A and B are shown apart, each in its own frame.
Chain A
Amino acid sequence: MTDPRIAGAGVTKFGKHPERTGRDLFAEAGLEALDDAGVAPDDVDALYYGNFMGELAEHQGHQGPLMAEAIGLDAPATRFEAACASAGAAVREAVKSLRNGESDVIVVGGAERMTNIGTAAATDALAIAADDLYEIRAGMTFPGAYALMARSYFDQYGGSHEDLAHIAVKNHEHALVNEHAQIQKAITVEDALEAPTIASPLGLYDSCPITDGAAAAVLTSEEYAEDHGLDAPIAVTGTGQGGDNLALQDRPHLAQTPAADKAAEEAYADAGIGPDDVDFAEVHDCFTIAEVLAIESLGFYDHGEGIHAATNGETDRHGELPINLSGGLKAKGHPVGATGVAQLATAAWVLDGSHPRADAVPDGTVGVTHNAGGTVASTTVHVLEVRE
C-alpha cells in the first residue's frame, strides 16, 4: 500500500461572489490544481466532488459530471454529500481508491455557492444538515445547534464567551496574510464580545461567514508521481471517518464530538503517529466552540481542557501547536462543500513552505485536517506528511 501524493491544489478567493456560478468557481480551482500538478487531463481516472446545498442554492443536483465537464475531464465523476464534511469524504474515498490500486490520478474538490440566495435562505439551507423532524421543526438553526453545544460545554467544563472570543481574534489574525481568505481584518476580544448575538451565547464573531468558493487538489499514487517526475513531496498518510446520531438530542454528550474522536483515532493509527507528533492542524471552526471540540477530539487536549488554548496563546502562530493558520472557517470563509479540500490544500502548502503562514512551523513535517459535517454527525480526519 502506498500513500497518495498531493500533486497540485487550487483554491478560489473565498468570499461573496453572488454572480458567479458554482461551475465557474469550481472551474477556476480545478484548472489551477491541474496546472499546478502538471498532470494531463487524460490521465485523470475520476473526479470526487463535494457539495452540500446545490439543489437549494442553484437548483442543481447531479453536479459530479457537470464539474468534470467544467474542468475538461472525460472521467467518471461522483458527488459526495456529508454536509460540511462533503469534501473531506471525497478526499477519503480518493485516498482509498489510490491506495488499492484502482486509480492513479484523482481530482478531489468541492464548491458551494451560498450568498446568491441571501442570509435567510442560506440559514435555512444550512439547517437541513440537522434532523428535520426533531430539530429544524423545533427552531434549530446551524448557529443555534452550536450554541446548544457551547452552553452545555460551559456548564460541564467551564470556560466563557471570552475564551471563544480569543479563538475568533486568533483566526482573524492568521487570515490577515491569506489572500484566499474572505475576511482579512483584525478584530479585538472586545469587538467579538460586543457583536450582535445570533443564537445565545454565540454572537456574530463566533460564526463563520456565508461564503462562495471552490477548492480542488490532484491526488496521485506514489508510483504515478515517481514515474512522471512530479514534484509532490506531500503525502496523505492517514485517513479516518467517524459518525454519530444525527440529532443532538440522541447523543450522550452535548459537549463532546465522538465522531471526531473516532475519525482521529483511525487516521492516527493509519498514519502510525499520535497527537504529539502533529506540528499544526486545520480544524473545522464553523463556530468558535467547534474549534474547542475539534482540538479535544484530535487528542491535543483532554475533554474540557481545550477552551483556554487560544486564550493562553497555545494555538496561535507563535504557540506550541498552531491551529488554523489559514484563518480557519471563521476568517477564511466556509463554502461548505469546498472546505475539506481547502483544508487539505492549506496543510500541503504549510508543509511545503509556500503558505504565507508556513513560518509558524518552519520544520513542520506533520499536519492534520479535521472536517466536520452538521453538528459533527460526520467527521473526516486526514494526516499529511512530508515524504521526499
Chain B
Amino acid sequence: MTDAAPDGQYDAWLDAIEDGEAYYIECENGHGWLPPRRVCPDCGSRELTEEQMPESGEVLTHSTITVPTPQFEDDAPYVTAIADFGPVSVTGLVRGIDPDDVTIGTVVGLHVGERATTGDRAVVFEPR
C-alpha cells in the first residue's frame, strides 16, 4: 500500500509473525520487550536476544472504538486490546469474534492482518 521505506525492525517483526516465527526481545535479566530496542529500559542491559513468543496470550483490557482516526475510518467499529503474552504485552486489533464477546481473559493468538481503511499491516489477535 505505502511506498514509504519499511520501519526496520518493526516490519521485520511483522514479517516474522506472518512466517509463524513471532519473537520478542529479552535482556539478560529476563525483561521482555518488542523491537526495535537497543537497551532494556528496566535494567539498562544491552545484552538483548530474540526469544520465541508464547503461542497464546490473554486479553488484559479492551475497547470497542466507534470514533476512529481517519486511518481506521472503514474499520470502525473495531476492538483494540492489550494482550499479555507473558514476557511481553502486545496491543492489537481483535478479530474473529463478536466485539461484545471479547472479555478480559479471552485467549488469543498473534497474527498480522490488513487495515480495511488503508490496507496497511496491523497486529491482529484472534481467539484460539
A positions within 8 Å CB-CB of B: 119-121, 123-124, 127, 133-141, 143-144, 147-149, 151-152, 155, 196-202, 245, 247-250, 254
Contacts and interface: CB of A to CB of B under 8 A. Distances in A.
Contacts of B61: 148-149, 151-152, 155, 254
A124 B71 contact: yes
Interface string B56-87: 00001111111111111101001011100000
B63 A144 contact: yes
Given A147-B63, A152-B104, A250-B89, 8 more contacts: A123-B67, A124-B69, A138-B123, A139-B65, A139-B93, A144-B63, A151-B61, A248-B82
Q: Which of B61, B89, B92, B122 has the most CB of A within 10 A?
A: B61
Contact of A120 (B70, B80, B92, B123): B70
Contacts of B73: 120
B41 interface: yes
Given A138-B122, A139-B122, A247 B60 contact: no
Query: Which 5 pairs of residues, A with B, have the shortest CB-CB distance?
Result: A147-B63, A124-B69, A152-B61, A249-B89, A138-B91
Contacts of A136: 69, 71
Contact of A151 (B70, B88, B104): B104
Given A139-B72, A148-B80, A200 B34 contact: no
Nearest to A140: B80
Contacts of A135: 91
B42 to A, nearest CB: 9
Contact of B68 (A123, A134, A137, A249): A123
Contacts of B71: 124, 136
B68 A139 contact: yes
A127 B69 contact: yes
A155 B84 CA distance: 15
B25 to A, nearest CB: 12
Interface of B: 7, 10, 33-34, 41, 60-73, 75, 78, 80-82, 88-93, 104, 120, 122-123
A133 B60 contact: no
Given A139-B68, A199-B63, A247-B91, A144 B80 contact: yes
A154 to B, nearest CB: 9
A147 B93 CA distance: 15
Given A148-B80, A155-B104, A137 B123 contact: yes
B39 to A, nearest CB: 13
A199 B67 contact: yes
B91 A140 contact: yes
B104 to A, nearest CB: 5
A140 B81 CA distance: 9
B24 to A, nearest CB: 11
B82 A249 contact: yes
Contacts of A247: 91
A125 to B, nearest CB: 9
A138 B92 contact: yes
Nearest to A128: B69
A155 B81 CA distance: 14
Contacts of A119: 67
A156 to B, nearest CB: 10
A124 to B, nearest CB: 4
Contacts of A134: 34, 90-91, 123
From B64, B67, B72, B120, name the one whose CB has the most chain A CB atoms within 10 angstroms: B67
A199 B91 contact: no
B93 A143 contact: no
Contacts of B65: 139, 141, 143-144, 147, 198-199
Given A120-B70, A155-B61, A138 B104 contact: no
